[in-house]
Amino acid sequence: MLTKSRYVIVSENTYTDPAGRRGRLVYNTATTRVSLLGTAAARQLEQVAPDDMPTALADRLRGLGLLTEQDPEQEMQSVVAAQKATADDTASRAFVLVPTSYCNMGCDYCGQTHVRGGLAPDHRRHVADRVLAAMAQPGTEQVEVRWFGGEPMMAYAVLLAMSEEFTAGSAATGTPYRATMTTNGALLTLRKMRRLYDDCAVREVCVTLDGPAEVHDAHRPLKSGQRSYARILDLLRGVVAEADAFEELSVILRVNIDVRNHGHVSELLRDLKDAGMDHRMVQLDLHGVYAWSNDVSDVRLGREELARQEVEWIQEILGLGMNHAVLPRARAGKICPAVTRSQEVISSTGSVFSCTEHPLVDRHEREDALSPVVMLPTPRLRPAGQFDDWHERLSSSSVPCSGCVFLPVCGGSCPKHWSESDPPCPPFKSNIQARMDLVAVLNNLRPVADEAQSAAGGGARSGGA
C-alpha cells in the first residue's frame, strides 16, 4: 500500500514559473530532491490518500519518492540503518588533533580553558603512530587529520613535523591523506598557507570573522591587545587572488553570532564581497553562539530570532554573489566523531575523546577521557564513547529526532547537546518555508500572493534548486 513519505515538506506558498504555470515546491529530505508540483497535484499529495489518487499521478509521485510503500516506522528505520551503516564503516578514518592547549585569542563565548603547552613528546609519538597505523591498516581507504584547537597555528612547527610524517606515510602505503584546519586565522600568512597546502595536504581551512573590523576585534580579542580583522581579511584576499595555486582548497568563513554582533552581519558581508570572497572556493557558514559546556545565556540570540535573520543573511550572501547553502542537499552520514569509532579526538593533554567539545574543557578533561593516548594500542579503534549508541537511540525513538522530518539530512545534529537538554536543531528547522521561497527565486519562480487565484491543474514537474 502506498503512503505519503514522512520526509516530504510542501511549500506553504504557491509560485508561478515564467510560462505562467503555478505550483508548489516539495522538498524530500530523504532524497534531498526539490520538485515543483502543480497546485492540484500538491493539494492531492497533502490531502488525498494515495489509493484514491489517479494512477498516473500516484505513479509520478512515487517516482519522485513522495509516495512510498514503507510505513512511517519502516521509513525511519531505513534512514537510521543507512546512517548507522555509514557510521560503522571504518574504511574512512579521521583524527581530530589538538596540537596545543593555548589560544592567542580570548573570546568570552569559548568554553575551552587555554593554558600554554602542547603534546608531550611521548604523546606526540603515539598520536603520529595511530594515524600512521590507520593508513597502513588493510581496508583503510582514506585518512583525514583535522587540526583543531586551542589555536593550531600556535603549534605550527609541530603541525609541519607531524604532517611530514603523515604525507610520507600516505606515499608509502598508498592511502590517500588530506587535512583540514580550524583556525582563528590571526597567525596565518600567505606563505604559511602555501606551506600548509603544498606540504601538509591541508585542503579545507575554516576561519572565523565575527563582524566588520571594530566588531570582530572586540568579539574575538587577541590576548596581545592587537587587532586581527585586517590581517585575516588580507590573508583571505591573498588566498583568493592565488586561487589557481590552491586548486583543491575550500575556505569556510564562519561567523559566530550573538546579541552583540547580529546587527553587524550585513556590514561584514559587504566587506567580504569587497574583499573578493564571492569566489567558488569560499563558503559562508553562519552560526549562533551556543553553550560549549559554558554559560552563554546572557549573549545567546534566541533560536527563532536567529532563524528569522539567518534567511535574510543568506539572501544577502547570494545577492552579493557569495556562497551559502539554501537547503541541505546531502544526506547526513557520520554527523560527528562522537557517533563513529572511525573517528577520534586527541587532546593536547594526551587524552583521547570521542567528542570535539570535550578537549580543553576542564570538566570533560577530568571526567570524559576515553583513554590516555599512550595506553591505546595503535591498530585499535578508539574505545567506545558516550554517544556511540546514537543510532540505537534513534532507532528506539528515545530522542525527538526519530520523529523529525529533517532526520535524513540532519541526523540529529549533536548528541551531546541533546544530552544536555539543549536541542541542537539547525535553523532550517524553523525557517524552512522562507528557505523554500529563496529556492523558488533562484529557480526563476515568483511567489503568488493568493493561492486561491491559481488555476487547478498541472501534474508533477521535477525542478532543480
Q: What is the closest distance, in whole angstroms, from the C-beta atom of residue 261 to ligand SF4 in the complex?
A: 22
Interface stretch with ligand SF4, choices 98-106, 151-159, 268-276, 404-412 (CB under 6 A): 404-412
Is 307 a residue that touches ligand SF4 (CB under 6 A)? no
Distances in whole angstroms, Cα of residue 323 to Cα of each of 378, 418, 435: 40, 30, 15
Helix (H, G, I), strand (E, B) or coil at 71: coil
Is 427 a residue that touches ligand SF4 (CB under 6 A)? no
Question: Exactly one of 143, 414, 432, 440 binds ligand SF4 (CB under 6 A); which one?
Answer: 414
The string of DSSP codes covering 330-354 is S---S--GGG-TTEEEE-TTSEEES
Is 29 a residue that touches ligand SF4 (CB under 6 A)? no
Q: What is the closest distance, in whole angstroms, from the C-beta atom of residue 404 to ligand SF4 in the complex?
A: 3
Is 176 a residue that touches ligand SF4 (CB under 6 A)? no
Residue with cell 529563496: 438
CB 98 within 8 A of CB 348: yes
Closest CA to 161 of 145, 185, 183: 145
Is 401 a residue that touches ligand SF4 (CB under 6 A)? yes
Question: Exactly one of 406, 427, 432, 434 binds ligand SF4 (CB under 6 A); which one?
Answer: 406
199-238: contacts with ligand SF4 (CB under 6 A): none
Is 98 a residue that touches ligand SF4 (CB under 6 A)? no
Closest CA to 128 of 166, 71, 75, 177: 166
Dist. CA 414–CA 263, nearest whole Å:
27
Dist. CA 463–CA 465, nearest whole Å:
7
Is 27 a residue that touches ligand SF4 (CB under 6 A)? no
Question: Exactly one of 429, 433, 441, 451 binds ligand SF4 (CB under 6 A); which one?
Answer: 429
Is 153 a residue that touches ligand SF4 (CB under 6 A)? no
* Partner residues linked to 105 by β-bridges: 222
Is 415 a residue that touches ligand SF4 (CB under 6 A)? yes
Closest CA to 208 of 264, 150, 251, 156: 251
Nearest to ligand SF4 of 148, 197 (CB atom): 148
CB 187 within 8 A of CB 196: no
Q: Alpha helices of 248-302 — where are they, by DSSP H?
A: 265-274
Residue with cell 576515553: 370
Is 425 a residue that touches ligand SF4 (CB under 6 A)? yes
Question: Exactly one of 306, 336, 373, 440 binds ligand SF4 (CB under 6 A); which one?
Answer: 336
Question: Exactly one of 404, 432, 440, 445 binds ligand SF4 (CB under 6 A); which one?
Answer: 404
- Give the CA angle between residues 394, 400, 406 to the nearest 5°: 80
Q: What is the closest distance, in whole angstroms, from the C-beta atom of residue 137 to ligand SF4 in the complex?
A: 23
Nearest to ligand SF4 of 277, 410 (CB atom): 410
Q: How many positions of this chain bind ligand SF4 (CB under 6 A)? A: 23
Site residues, ligand SF4 (CB under 6 A)? 336-338, 355-357, 387, 400-401, 404, 406-407, 410, 412-417, 424-426, 429
